[in-house]
Amino acid sequence: MAATGTVTAFEIHDVRFPTSERLDGSDAMHPDPDYSAAYLVLHTAGGPRGHGLCFTLGRGNDVMAAAIRSLAPYLVGRPVPATAADLAALHRDLTHDSQLRWLGPEKGVMQMAAGAVLNAAWDLAARRAGLPVWEFLAAMTPEDLVSLVDFRYLSDALTPGEALALLRAAEPGRAARAARLKAEGYPAYTTSPGWLGYDDGKLVRLAKEAVADGFGQIKLKVGADLDDDKRRLRLARAAVGPGVRIAVDANQRWDVAEAVRWMTALAPYTPYWIEEPTSPDDVLGHAAVRSGQPVKVATGEHVANRVVFKQLLQAGAVDFVQIDAARVAGVNENLAILLLAAKYGVPVCPHAGGVGLCELVQHLAMFDYVAVSGSRDDRVIEYVDHLHEHFVHPVVIEHGRYRAPAAPGFSAEMHPASLAAHRYPDGPVWRARRTTEEALA
């Protein structure tokens, strides 16, 4: 028998949703996503379980599952991480494994796998503490928070001492901001109207619904055809009126000069920001796009790690930092990115959507407000209204705002029935789909 307080098993699921059937999530680079998750459950002896996931677009979800499995020896049979020191050590173990780091280093499949495992460990630690992750983090001392960050490669932009000073400066207001957050929630924007595969009628209808639901910002996918983009922006503006912001998102579609040309042409339609104008690896390219046209620049959902975020900030390449809960090495690396953004005074507007990304990232934005930046000004969390029904504690959106989650943990736990129904390739949803395809063939 394993001792109480020991991780006993990794339970890994390949879960896929056939979202490509309705073009939900379609953009200029990803026309047919099947929103999926490589989903991890940490079992413990006699205690709560921890839940984490990697979001993918379908194919390759099995590769992510294999990558998560490769990290099991760092937890299975070992004590449950409970303290900041435990979670700092786990982060170091997972990202600095002397053999596995060759597969990145700190990027792509292995980095996302490390993120899923770390986030599951954070879920578990927060559940044991009886707190949602945002409050679990906001209850830590500045010293503990600094100890969670890997400052390797950051010291030319942010030192541990500077991070500590930032966190200490925000400490006196924590309780008041937490109370305000519980009362008021955190501003959201919605991408639901703007998928590229939706026709004009659906765009207009969903844009009007977004305003009626209280959102102050929507987002449209752009980048496939300039005339279409102009028409869609015009329709969306007419639908939402002058007081609602409309961000646009090119999903990495352009080269630098093309981004500058395209956004110069769209600028008269007053888009609030242009998101992912070019390659997420192109720091200098983002800087050139930002200086070459009048629309503010946002990026981050595909930025592989803190080192690239550091450079985006050093180069003055972005107006908004878009963290993603499941792209980098978990809470620890996102904490580094929040601190970098605070140092450079750039607002963090998280990427979300996918499978469980809203559920996860809300905790990080709320923690940022309470204990790091201390501000909700110019900050919004993305919201997409897909697939929340599969989560035990789905996000709650009221009047265009995320309600602060109250359940202990990281909100990433999925319903067992959802896991079973969407198991790939042999769950009933996928068996039925193959039967349909065979009948049509």
Give residues in contact with a copy of itself (CB under 8 A). 29-34, 55-60, 62-64, 66-67, 70, 97-112, 152-156, 252, 255-258, 278-285, 288, 302, 304-305, 307-308, 310-311, 314-315
Residue 126, both tokens: 């927060």
Q: Which residue type is seen at 213?
A: D
Query: Coil, helix or strand for 150?
Result: coil
State the nearest-atom distance from the C-beta of 280 to a copy of itself, in Å: 7
Query: Which uninterrupted H or E stretch holds 399?
Result: none
Half-sphere exposure of residue 351: CA atoms within 13 angstroms, side-chain side: 22
Q: Which of 13, 51, 219, 221 is catalytic?
A: 221
Q: Is 351 a catalytic residue?
A: yes
Q: Which of 107, 219, 351, 363 is catalytic?
A: 351
State the nearest-atom distance from the C-beta of 314 to a copy of itself, in Å: 6
Per DSSP, the residues of 154-214 read TTTT--HHHHHHHHHHHGGGHHHHHHHHHHH-EEEEEEEEE-TTS-HHHHHHHHHHHHHTT
State the nearest-atom distance from the C-beta of 407 to a copy of itself, in Å: 29
State the nearest-atom distance from the C-beta of 224 to a copy of itself, in Å: 13
The closest of 62, 77, 50, 69 to 331, measured between CA atoms, is: 50
Residue 289, both tokens: 């796009």
Alpha-carbon gap, residue 357 to 383, rounded angstroms: 9
CA diameter of the chain: 67
Q: Is 343 a catalytic residue?
A: no
Alpha-carbon gap, residue 405 to 365, rounded angstroms: 12
Residues 54 and 74: beta-carbon distance below 8 Å: no
Alpha-carbon gap, residue 83 to 274, rounded angstroms: 39
Query: Which uninterrupted H or E stretch holds 16?
Result: strand 7-16
Q: Which residues contact 345 (CB under 8 A, 6 or more apart)?
A: none
Give the nearer residue to a copy of itself in terms of CB position, either 332 or 373.
Answer: 332
* Neighbour-count burial of 135, counting CB atoms closer than 10 A to its CB (0-12 exposed, 13-18 middle, 19+ buried): buried
Q: Within 10 Å of residue 217's Cβ, how many Cβ atoms?
A: 22
Query: Which uninterrupted H or E stretch holds 282?
Result: none
State the nearest-atom distance from the C-beta of 128 to a copy of itself, in Å: 29
Residues 337 and 323: beta-carbon distance below 8 Å: yes
Residues 429 and 421: beta-carbon distance below 8 Å: yes
Residues 81 and 125: beta-carbon distance below 8 Å: yes
**Residue located via tokens 């985006």:** 312
Residue 100, both tokens: 């596995």
The closest of 422, 354, 375 to 170, measured between CA atoms, is: 375
Give the nearer residue to a copy of itself in terms of CB position, either 71 or 211.
Answer: 71
Q: Which residues are catalytically annotated?
A: 221, 351
